[in-house]
């Protein structure tokens, strides 16, 4: 029955602990995931903003060209050849492009003209009249821009690809070039080049966009417009953070536009990441604390259940032990008394002997009963104390004298060392007697071979001590903290041979507390033990003052004065 209950209790404990640990592990895992996904979500948001910036820049380039694709291009060829101008509908569109401050100039190169040949005549847009005017003075990079479209168009035309009637190519960030295609003849009519104002594009378009979306006072993401071909930062939202490639978390390109440039972003430990981290730490702490509390409660319940069981077991053992102990002297007394009463023993010497047996056993019985009563009194808190000032240097030798015969009978020697000044304490002398008797009793019991027992009274720093030292079996370290508990006995071969109930020290402990002192022990296995009773020194004046103070602090009986008397 006991065994089954024990197995159930242990199984429940293990299952409980496992359940708590599994729950904790799942929670920790979820918390980690939550933190990571929150941080990732925050970073994704920043990347989306960066993409938005790039889209805005692309839009500001393309916007003036909207509707360009649906223009009727066929008349261009004739108009240019006949009148040297674009047809009106094309002129209107080009006017809009010219209005965009991103472009610094607009040029038209007929298909049969090569701008790479110095002195070639092409057309430049007059920004006042919006008419094309022939010129030989044009930017050098026109050669590259037109060349790009021409090459691309040639490849596409050879493959008979009629998908488009214009083809747009960017010469890096320098120009935007549109090739006009004659779909019927599968040939190029000419090239429209808009040169890009680089400073304006960077300072007035991209930089403000970056600042608007990534205000450095609100975010700790750092954004760079990076010219990777030349490894130069062209714009950033935070000048104080130097560009470091290993910090870059994400890059966003401008598509076919500005192929030498891209936008890069780095996430420094920003406030929200810090916040997520702090929330995470807080959650972990709360979780850890709750788990500890839960485990603590579980172990406490388990421990107290075990404890209760062992107390019950000890009490059962104690009862059996006591009954046995009580029966032994009673049996001796009964047998001796019977022999005398029956008249079987008649010789005076024998009668005296039997009488002595009865007397000794009755003393033993009395001692046992006294001890049980002491335990019961201390259990119910009804131990009475009659404290009087006592000099330990006088009291202790008196007790020793009463015990000397017991000590000597076992072959031990007892030495007493007194103090050179009185060791005055306020105690119940009967209690000191009980405690010292118990200590001497133990010193004798747990010293199997005749050896020396020393008792020393000391008065030091207003504390008075009674040290009782033996050279007996000592107490194993692991047991020391338990020996003052009721019914506790060290369970080893040597102690097992000695009779006892595990009550003596628990009585000493409660009596010491009652007498305002405490008991200490120092012991080494197989070498011996020293038990020390520590009392505060009794100083008459101080005591009187304390008493007076206590009396003053006591609330004085209050009464109401009849109002009529005032």
Beta bridge partners of 452: 413
* Coil, helix or strand at residue 14: helix
Residue from 146, 453, 505, 512 binding ligand ADP (CB under 6 A): 505
Residue from 147, 179, 329, 472 binding ligand ADP (CB under 6 A): 472
Residue from 442, 459, 469, 532 binding ligand ADP (CB under 6 A): 442
Kindly state the DSSP code that residue 237 receives in the 8-state scheme. Answer: S
Whichever of 110 and 329 has its CB closer to ligand ADP, that residue is: 329
Residue from 473, 511, 512, 519 binding ligand ADP (CB under 6 A): 473
Instruction: State the minimum distance, in angstroms, from the CB of residue 451 to ligand ADP.
Output: 11
Residue 502 sits in the site that holds ligand ADP (CB under 6 A): yes
Residue 423 sits in the site that holds ligand ADP (CB under 6 A): no
* Coil, helix or strand at residue 425: strand
Contact predicate 157/111, CB 8 Å: no
Whichever of 190 and 329 has its CB closer to ligand ADP, that residue is: 329
Retrieve residue 413's tokens.
Answer: 């020697």
Instruction: State the minimum distance, in angstroms, from the CB of residue 2 to ligand ADP.
Output: 24
Phi-psi sector, 526: left (phi>0), alpha (psi -120 to 50), beta: left
CA separation for the pair 34, 16 (Å, rounded)? 27
Residue 68 sits in the site that holds ligand ADP (CB under 6 A): no
Cα-Cα-Cα-Cα torsion 468, 473, 476, 481, nearest 10 degrees, comes to -30
CA separation for the pair 383, 380 (Å, rounded)? 8
CA separation for the pair 303, 357 (Å, rounded)? 47
Retrieve residue 286's tokens.
Answer: 């709360």
CA separation for the pair 495, 484 (Å, rounded)? 15
Q: Residues 9-36, buried b or exposed e (16+ Cβ, 10 A)? A: eeeebeebeeebeeebeeeeeebeeebe
Residue 150 sits in the site that holds ligand ADP (CB under 6 A): no
Q: Which residue is nearest to ligand ADP (CB)?
A: 500
Residue 509 sits in the site that holds ligand ADP (CB under 6 A): no
Pick the piece of the chain touching ligand ADP (CB under 6 A) from 27-35, 104-112, 204-212, 469-477.
Answer: 469-477
Instruction: State the minimum distance, in angstroms, from the CB of residue 396 to ligand ADP.
Output: 17
Whichever of 100 and 530 has its CB closer to ligand ADP, that residue is: 530
Locus of tokens 């075990």: 306
Pick the piece of the chain touching ligand ADP (CB under 6 A) from 211-219, 298-306, 416-424, 470-478.
Answer: 470-478
Residue from 124, 470, 511, 515 binding ligand ADP (CB under 6 A): 470
Kindly state the DSSP code that residue 565 receives in the 8-state scheme. Answer: G
Instruction: State the minimum distance, in angstroms, from the CB of residue 513 to ligand ADP.
Output: 15
Instruction: State the minimum distance, in angstroms, from the CB of residue 425 to ligand ADP.
Output: 22
Whichever of 282 and 477 has its CB closer to ligand ADP, that residue is: 477
- Contact string 525-564 vs ligand ADP (x = CB under 6 A): ----x-----------------------------------
Beta bridge partners of 253: 262
What ranges in 342-454 are assigned the alpha helix state H? 348-380, 392-409, 429-445
Instruction: State the minimum distance, in angstroms, from the CB of residue 24 to ligand ADP.
Output: 41
Residue 475 sits in the site that holds ligand ADP (CB under 6 A): yes
CA separation for the pair 221, 216 (Å, rounded)? 8
Instruction: State the minimum distance, in angstroms, from the CB of residue 473 to ligand ADP.
Output: 5
Q: Interface with ligand ADP by CB under 6 A: which residues? A: 442-443, 446, 470, 472-475, 483, 488-490, 495, 500-506, 529
């Amino acid at each position: 029955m006991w065994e089954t209950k024990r197995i159930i209790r242990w199984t429940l404990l293990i299952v409980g602990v496992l359940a708590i640990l599994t729950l904790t592990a799942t929670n920790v895992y979820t918390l980690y995931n939550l933190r990571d996904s929150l941080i990732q979500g925050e970073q994704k948001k920043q990347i989306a903003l960066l993409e938005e910036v790039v889209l805005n820049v692309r839009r500001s380039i393309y916007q003036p060209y909207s509707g360009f694709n649906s223009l009727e291009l066929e008349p261009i060829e004739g108009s240019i050849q006949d009148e040297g101008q674009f047809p009106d509908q094309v002129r209107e569109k080009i006017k809009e492009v010219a209005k965009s401050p991103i472009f610094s100039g607009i040029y038209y190169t007929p298909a049969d003209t090569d701008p790479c040949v110095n002195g070639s005549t092409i057309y430049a847009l007059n920004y006042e009249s919006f008419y094309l005017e022939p010129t030989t003075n044009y930017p050098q990079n026109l050669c590259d821009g037109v060349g790009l479209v021409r090459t691309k168009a040639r490849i596409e035309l050879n493959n008979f690809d009629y998908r488009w009637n214009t083809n747009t190519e960017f010469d890096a960030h320098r120009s935007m070039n549109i090739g006009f295609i004659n779909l019927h003849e599968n040939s190029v009519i000419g090239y429209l080049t808009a040169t890009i104002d680089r400073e304006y594009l960077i300072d007035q378009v991209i930089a403000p966009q970056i600042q608007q979306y990534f205000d450095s006072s609100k975010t700790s993401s750092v954004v760079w417009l990076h010219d990777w071909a030349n490894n130069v930062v062209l714009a950033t939202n935070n000048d104080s953070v130097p560009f470091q490639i290993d910090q870059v978390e994400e890059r966003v390109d401008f598509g076919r536009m500005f192929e030498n440039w891209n936008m890069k972003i780095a996430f420094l430990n920003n406030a929200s990441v810090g916040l997520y981290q702090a929330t995470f730490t807080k959650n972990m702490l709360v979780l850890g604390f709750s788990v500890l509390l839960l485990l603590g409660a579980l172990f406490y319940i388990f421990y107290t259940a075990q404890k209760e069981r062992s107390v019950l077991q000890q009490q059962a053992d104690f009862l059996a032990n006591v009954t046995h102990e009580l029966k032994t002297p009673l049996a001796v007394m009964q047998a001796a008394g019977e022999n005398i009463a029956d008249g079987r023993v008649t010789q005076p010497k024998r009668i005296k002997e039997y009488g002595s047996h009865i007397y000794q056993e009755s003393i033993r019985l009395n001692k046992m009963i006294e001890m049980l009563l002491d335990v019961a009194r201390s259990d119910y808190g009804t131990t009475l104390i009659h404290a009087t000032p006592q000099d330990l240097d006088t009291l202790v030798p008196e007790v020793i004298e009463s015990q000397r015969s017991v000590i000597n009978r076992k072959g031990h020697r007892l030495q007493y060392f007194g103090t050179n000044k009185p060791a005055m304490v306020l105690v119940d002398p009967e209690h000191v007697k009980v405690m010292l008797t118990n200590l001497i009793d133990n010193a004798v019991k747990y010293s199997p071979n005749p050896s020396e027992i020393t008792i020393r009274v000391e008065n030091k720093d207003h504390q008075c001590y009674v040290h009782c030292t033996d050279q007996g079996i000592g107490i194993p370290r692991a047991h020391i903290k338990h020996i003052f508990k009721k019914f506790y006995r060290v369970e080893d071969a040597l102690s097992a041979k000695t009779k006892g109930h595990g009550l003596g020290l628990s009585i000493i402990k409660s009596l010491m507390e009652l007498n305002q002192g405490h008991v200490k022990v120092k012991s080494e296995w197989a070498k011996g033990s020293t038990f020390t009773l520590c009392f505060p020194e009794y100083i008459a004046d101080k005591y009187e003052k304390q008493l007076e103070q206590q009396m003053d602090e006591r609330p004085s009986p209050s009464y109401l004065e009849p109002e009529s008397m005032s």
